[in-house]
Structure 1
Amino acid sequence: MPDPAVSVVGPGDGETILLGTTRMRVLEDGSNTGHRLGLAESVLAPHTPGPPQHRHARHDEGFYIISGSVRFTVGDKDHDATAGTFVMVPPGAPHTFANVTDQQAVMLSILTPDLYMQYFRDLAEMLADDQAPSPQASLQVMSRYATEPATDFSQRAD
């Protein structure tokens, strides 16, 4: 039996996805892991708002902060995560994140399984014409990836 292929993504490699003021670099989209795992590096510009608070039904999502600070809102509680912090969000947990600081933040996002990686591509396509998608369009795309807004928690301004 031949050895399985090893995936190596160098510093300038990987697919880039632009999501407003966030630049995401896909390190593993699931194609090398049998779709068990997705991994992306995200660079959040200063004062980058996050997505509406939401829940995933079918995947875990982890975030490791490499530099800067990212505010995670889980339900009605804020957690300011600095470099070296890991945040693990299980299915069903309401969450969002934002960079509320004057400095850039960099984090790794780990998805298991990789279900949500295609969502980021779909969202980038929706944002490509420099217009925010309608709430209805956003909900439709989220629902394709077993995700729904956490409407029981109101959006808060930072």
Structure 2
Amino acid sequence: MNQNAETLSDRPSAAAPLPAVLTRHADAETCADPSSVMTLLADSADTAGAFTSYRSTFAAGAAGAPAHFHTRAWELFFVISGALQVLVGEEVSILREGDFLAVPPHTPHAFAAAPGSEADVLFVFTPGMGRFDYLRLLGRVMRGEADPKEIAESSERFDNHYVDSPVWRAALEQSA
């Protein structure tokens, strides 16, 4: 269980067979790299596998994730503030404050802060799977503390499969 998440079980078990999960902002673990901060909220071990959730704040022009897909999980995006450029399949669009996106399994997608904009985004994966170790690994790679090959070697473990997307590469080149 995430040492920073606490369970709430003050409701009768018939109404809530699983305890609620509460992660206090002050207690949440963060992973930072030069252009973003990820706040780890609840990993699958905290939610009986129902979901994994974290929040990312991206600096203006920050890269998010290259084109990839998941075989088992939906990835949900909710833009808290700013704007996020996203690829879904072969389409690139901009999500703005209050926008929500749900990407189903096997659908290539990518994201980055929209050109000239910062982005604050809530991410949820459902069903959940242990992803916090993957996010920690990303931070270490971005800071030069780990070999990027470790990401490729972890694709099955974390259900994160990278793909080539000429559409996404062109969108990033255009916004540079």
Please indicate the TM-score interval, normalised by the length of the shorter structure. Answer: 0.7 to 0.9
Could you report, residue by residue, the CA deviation over 1:51-78 in whole angstroms, capped at 9, with x for unpaired residues? 2201111111100000000010123311
Specify the alignment match of 2:4 in structure 1: none
The amino acid across from 1:124 in the alignment is G
Q: CA RMSD in A?
A: 2.1
Verify: 1:127 aligned to 2:145, yes or no.
no
Quick check: 1:72–1:79 contact (8 Å CA) kept in 2? yes
Identity across aligned pairs (percent)? 25
Specify the alignment match of 1:139 in structure 2: 152
Secondary structure in structure 2 of the residue aligned to 1:7: strand
Normalising by structure 1, report the TM-score: 0.85
Q: Aligned residue pairs: how many?
A: 154
Where does 1:39-54 land on structure 2 (aligned, <5 Å)?
39-54=53-68
Specify the alignment match of 2:115 in structure 1: 101
Q: In terms of Rg, which structure is larger? A: 2
Quick check: 2:94–2:114 contact (8 Å CA) kept in 1? no
Specify the alignment match of 1:66 in structure 2: 80
Shift of 1:130: 5.5
Gaps of 5+ in 2: 1-11
The amino acid across from 1:117 in the alignment is F
Higher relative contact order (CA 8 A, sep 6+): 1
Gaps of 5+ in 1: none
Normalising by structure 2, report the TM-score: 0.77
* Higher strand proportion: 2
2:87 and 2:37 map into 1 onto residues whose CA distance is: 21
Quick check: 2:137–2:151 contact (8 Å CA) kept in 1? no
* Higher helix proportion: 2
